[in-house]
């Protein structure tokens, strides 16, 4: 336990962790799908993803947390990422 | 170093020798000279600090919070509408528990547009969690900047502090004041040691979602910080007197109050004027004294109970108003004294929007209060002027126009 005295200084701190808001991939309406043929591994998508849902190695998209904002598809210089409408009940 | 300067410039020099490292600020009358002088001190190499010219007061307070969270000693100044624009971030600063200090040059809020002094701006920020101190002289504002860091940076407190200084009466008038050397001040307020900082070695999120199960304790903790501040404020004032030989009171200041049958309670420069009124009434043989509320938050509950006990009459001066109720200080004094003091208390409201308040007026109202001739609340300096007459004439003309909506000129 902390050596701080109870409520003398109680403020709202939290440690960084994965998925504090739950499986945010559930929020997704459009799913980014990468075409490995077109991808030149430039890492622009990795840099731009606001949720850190694209792995640096191989740019694998984490569909458990990706909210489908589409920034990666917008920024991709080779149009390797397409936004595909999610079909209800078929989320991965 | 002895300086002959305006209250505003003295604040800038005090911030310099207090070792302030970051100053985010936005100019507003009557505060502008504070940050002008700080910018000049930095530009001329006399002050080792970063000045952030933000685009609004809301951002000024956001930058103030952020700077403090890096472990820097941060300072700002504002006034009136600027303070109002900060409102949301004032709550944030207190909620994130940063020991920042800000001078608020007390000015009325519009409409009508008025750059002169009253306490409506700071009183409106009463419940943000900031400590509030009201100063009564040029020397006091200098010394209070040092005391403020001594109090806010104490690990049992860690809450922001607003130093309230009356517009023009203090901000723009010139007085000589002692501004100590940096080394002397550093002995009183050594380098700020934060409880935590924004540090990549220990990444945390502060202020993200906090659920009903956890939120209340963070707020209770702010109140505990305010309670601890009562002790630290007294200690800071005592230690300051020991080191620098000056005393402005701690939670309160009293003047000729020991044997007083009547007590006048006031804040800010009106308390200085009340000292003159007390002297005048004493010369007439009236047993009158002053109790200056120096700290409005935390509120001097125990001090008021001790000082008011056994008095025959209490008159509270407000330079603000809580509409639908009465002057805010009057309410708070009565709340502190409820069930503890049998003296009748009357509230007077004067000096709104910078109207000059003379010691004669205060003495006259105090006499009426003592004789039981005052209402519960009295607007003490009401007058009808030619400007008011213009408004009334306009309203008459509007009445004519609106009674005949079809006609135009």
CB B296 within 8 A of CB B404: no
CB B117 within 8 A of CB B167: yes
Q: With an 8 Å Cβ cutoff, is B91 touching chain A?
A: no
Helices (H), B263-358: 269-283, 301-308, 328-337
Candidates A8, A14, A21; nearest CB to B224: A8
> Looking at residue A60, what is its pLDDT?
95
CATH code: domain A24-85 is: 3.30.70.20
Domain boundaries, chain B: 2-244, 252-379
Q: Which of B370, B127, B140 is nearest to B253 (CA)?
A: B140
CATH code: domain B252-379 is: 3.40.50.920
Check A9 against B218: CB less than 8 A apart.
no
Strand partners, A14: B205
Domain boundaries, chain A: 24-85
Check B206 against A15: CB less than 8 A apart.
no
Q: With an 8 Å Cβ cutoff, is A2 touching chain B?
A: no
- Does CATH place domain B2-244 in 3.30.70.360? no
Domain B2-244 matches domain B252-379 at the CATH topology level: yes
User: B394 CB contacts (<8 Å, ≥6 apart)?
Assistant: none
Look at residue A6 and tell me whether its pLDDT is greater than 80.
yes
Check B207 against A12: CB less than 8 A apart.
yes
> Looking at residue B317, what is its pLDDT?
98
Look at residue A1 and tell me whether its pLDDT is greater than 50.
no
Q: With an 8 Å Cβ cutoff, is B212 touching chain A?
A: no
Q: How confident is the model at residue A2 (pLDDT cuts 50, 70, 90)?
A: low
Mutate to test the interface with B, among A7, A12, A15, A17 (most CBs of B within 10 A): A12
Residues of chain B scoring pLDDT < 50: none
Å from A20 to nearest chain B CA?
A: 10
């Amino acid at each position: 336990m902390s050596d701080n005295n109870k409520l003398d200084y109680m403020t709202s701190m939290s440690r960084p962790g994965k998925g504090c808001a739950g499986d945010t991939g559930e929020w997704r309406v459009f799913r980014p799908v990468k075409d490995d043929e077109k991808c030149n591994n430039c890492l622009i998508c990795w840099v731009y993803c606001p949720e850190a849902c694209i792995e640096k190695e191989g740019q694998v998209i984490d569909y458990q947390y990706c909210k489908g904002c589409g920034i990666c598809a917008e920024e991709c210089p080779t149009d390797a990422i397409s936004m595909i409408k999610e079909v209800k009940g078929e989320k991965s | 170093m002895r300086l002959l300067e305006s209250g505003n410039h003295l604040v800038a020099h005090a911030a310099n020798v207090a070792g302030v490292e970051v100053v985010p600020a936005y100019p507003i009358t009557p505060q502008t000279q504070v940050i002008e002088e700080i910018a000049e001190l930095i530009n001329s190499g006399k002050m080792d600090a970063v000045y952030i010219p933000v685009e609004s007061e809301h951002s000024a307070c956001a930058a103030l919070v952020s700077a403090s969270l890096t472990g820097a000693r941060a300072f700002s100044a504002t006034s009136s509408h600027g303070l109002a624009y900060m409102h949301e971030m004032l709550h944030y600063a207190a909620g994130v528990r940063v020991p920042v200090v800000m001078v608020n040059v007390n000015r009325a809020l519009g409409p009508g547009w008025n750059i002169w002094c009253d306490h409506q701006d700071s009183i409106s920020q009463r419940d943000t969690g900031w400590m509030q101190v009201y100063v009564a002289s040029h020397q006091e504002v200098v010394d209070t900047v040092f005391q403020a860091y001594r109090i806010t940076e104490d690990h049992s407190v860690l809450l922001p502090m607003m130093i309230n200084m009356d517009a023009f009466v203090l901000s723009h008038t010139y007085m000589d004041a002692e501004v100590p050397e940096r080394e002397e001040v550093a002995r009183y307020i050594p380098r700020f040691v934060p409880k935590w900082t924004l540090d990549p070695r220990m990444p945390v999120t502060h202020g993200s979602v906090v659920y009903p199960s956890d939120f209340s304790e963070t707020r209770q903790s702010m109140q505990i910080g305010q309670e601890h501040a009562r002790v630290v404020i007294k200690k800071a004032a005592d230690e300051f007197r020991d080191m620098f030989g000056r005393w402005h009171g701690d939670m309160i200041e009293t003047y000729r109050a020991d044997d007083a049958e009547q007590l006048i309670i006031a804040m800010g420069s009106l308390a200085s004027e009340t000292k003159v009124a007390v002297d005048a009434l004493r010369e007439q043989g009236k047993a009158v004294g002053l109790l200056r509320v120096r700290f409005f938050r935390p509120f001097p509950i125990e001090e008021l109970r001790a000082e008011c006990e056994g008095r025959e009459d209490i008159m509270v001066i407000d330079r603000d108003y809580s509409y639908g109720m009465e002057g805010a200080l009057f309410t708070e004094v009565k709340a502190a004294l409820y069930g503890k003091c049998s003296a009748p208390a009357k509230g007077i409201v004067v000096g709104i929007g910078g109207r000059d308040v003379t010691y004669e007026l205060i003495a006259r109202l105090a006499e009426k209060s003592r004789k039981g001739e005052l209402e519960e609340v009295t607007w003490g300096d009401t007058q009808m002027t030619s400007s008011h007459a213009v408004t009334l004439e306009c309203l008459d003309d509007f009445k004519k126009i609106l009674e005949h909506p079809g006609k135009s000129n």
